[in-house]
Amino acid sequence: MLVLDFTRILGGPYCTKLLADLGAYVIKVEPPSGDHYRNRGPFKDGVSTLFLQLNRGKHSLCIDLKNPVGADLMRQLATKCDVLVENFRPGVMERLGLDYSTLKECNRKLVYCSISGFGSSGPLARRSAFAPIVHAYSGFDEAFGRYARNDMSINNPHLVADVAGGLTAFAAIQTALLSRCLRGTGDKIDVSLLEVMLSLQPFEVQAAQISPRQEQILYRALRTLDVSIVVAPTTQENFYALCAAIGREDMRDSDLYNNIRAREQNWNSLTDEIEAWTKLRSADDCEKILVAAGVPAAKYLSTEEILRHPHLAESRFFHKIDDRVGSHLEMGMPFCLGGLPSVKDERKCGLGAGNSDVLCGLLGISSEHFSALLSDRVVFDSESPP
């Protein structure tokens, strides 16, 4: 499968990384200055390991799309592609002559996926938007701050909209490819990060339509003799197991806790009762006792700690990679298939490193033509000044 990737930053490249991990030949189209994330940390030996994680296995094609010759080369390349993914603001690809309406005329099987902050239509459509902007507009940050006692200064370090948007686009592309097998034609996919973020808030969307507003129960961090722990006695069975594990059989028949609605109404009180037990023990002892009893519980781990956990040593999610920045773990697919290929090496993701392979190998242009494109500053490589 051939994928033409016009994405940059995080969400779009995350989507096309998943396609590359499945074995697709992904052509990453970059401007002369390169993807912005080439300059985002964390860095190792001056190289962005975040960029490598998102773009490993792709072939970088560094080309000036504002040059009519460069845009025309991309239209020629699109005729050979199965999938095109872009995350420009709506209207940009149309100005370049690379919009779906134009390209489908010469490639009726093309699956064309656009990812944007607010979708392709509506009053907000052409507004610039990165993940923090969509977090703010979707109500996600307001809800987070409200549950944190209206502390709107609390920032989520994770760009949820980008990662969730990339996963949504990935799923939509698979759906469109399956549809193409049945119908014989491609399709246009429109992924709105605003709608993605709303889809992650099913409770909040419903609660916002009911007055008086109902709040979610919060699984707060419970104190132990050392690090904190979280306990989630969600179902009736979990609750009965909890009562037995902490020696509080009396709570089973209490009007405060004996059914799900009662527990939700008295959740803070129940949490205090559990913490009265956990704070007398270490987190390890609490987790061991509760898990053995069938109660969902976990101590809080750092990212460094979970990376060293024995469970992940047996997981297929992480793969050890040896490349120009040394040996490190690389994330694979967030699901398992029996025939899933292993994570690819760096391949041609250095800026412009895939120029020749793509233009000469796939489009069939001559070496003389390729040299002319370099000298005319249509195509760039890592040695070319932007």
Structure tokens given for 76: 């020629």
- Whole-model pTM: value is 0.92
Q: So what's the architecture of 2-201+323-375 in CATH?
A: 3-Layer(aba) Sandwich (3.40)
Instruction: Compute the residue count for the chain.
Output: 386
Residue 386 confidence (pLDDT)? 53
Q: Is 9 helix (H, G, I), strand (E, B) or coil?
A: coil
CATH fold of 229-299, please?
Answer: formyl-coa transferase, domain 3 (3.30.1540)
Successive 10-residue mean pLDDT values, the chain, 386 residues: 97 96 95 94 90 93 97 97 97 97 97 97 92 93 80 71 97 98 97 97 94 88 97 96 97 94 95 98 98 97 92 82 77 77 64 95 96 95 64
Query: How far is 6 from 29, CA to CA, in rounded Å?
Result: 5
Residue 333: per-residue pLDDT: 81
Q: What share of the chain is helix, strand, coil (3-state, %, to 5)?
A: 40, 15, 45
What is residue 28's predicted lDDT score, i.e. its pLDDT? Answer: 98
The whole-number pLDDT of residue 252 equals 94
Q: Could you give the CA distance from residue 27 to residue 62 in angstroms, rounded to a whole number?
A: 10
* CA-closest candidate to residue 8, choices 32, 31, 42, 24: 31
Q: Are 217 and 282 in contact (CB under 8 A)?
A: no
Give backbone dihedrals phi and psi of 282, rounded to 5 degrees, phi first. Answer: -75, 160
* pLDDT reported for residue 384: 62
User: Does 229-299 match 2-201+323-375 at the fold level?
Assistant: no
The answer to whether residues 46 and 363 touch, using CB atoms and an 8 Å cutoff, is: no
Residue spans per domain, the chain? 2-201+323-375, 229-299
Distance of alpha carbon 63 from alpha carbon 58, whole angstroms: 15
**Distance, C-alpha 71 to centroid of its chain:** 29
Distance CA(377)–CA(366), nearest Å, equals 17
Cβ–Cβ under 8 Å, residues 278 and 228? no
